Homo-oligomer: A and B are copies of this chain.
Amino acid sequence: MTTSLPEPPYVVVIFTSRRTGGDQGYGAMSARMMELVKDQPGFLGVESARNAEGFGITVSYWKDLASIAAWKAHLEHREAMKLGRERWYEAYDIKVGTITSHRMFEAP
């Protein structure tokens, strides 16, 4: 869980996707992007889950819209996005917004 997030408000990117079949280099690139994104200015955290049918949700949290714009312009990320459209995704949605409240539960 993303317990290290600051108090809201902060910005969110919700990336939902349907993968094509097979790996085709996806696993390695995904790991590389997770590594890269952690060093981006304004990056606050990321959570990701994909089910057995290939439907996945990745939610990333950011300080502001400028941080997202810089990540979107990052050369290696641009190359990954290009390959994503060509090879790895049948379809995806990207939603951007602002988180205004956050509460947590942990079992005793």
| Interface residue SS majority, chain A | strand
> What interface size band does chain A fall in?
35 or more
Docked CA distance A56–B92 (Å): 18
Chain copies in the assembly? Answer: 2
A72 to chain B, nearest CB (A): 12
A102 to chain B, nearest CB (A): 5
Closest 4 CB pairs of A and B: A97-B99, A49-B49, A57-B57, A91-B106
- Add 18 more A-B contacts to A1-B92, A85-B105, A91-B106 (CB < 8 A): A1-B16, A1-B93, A8-B95, A12-B14, A12-B97, A14-B59, A50-B51, A52-B52, A57-B59, A59-B59, A90-B106, A90-B107, A91-B105, A92-B104, A93-B104, A94-B102, A97-B98, A97-B99
Docked CA distance A61–B43 (Å): 24
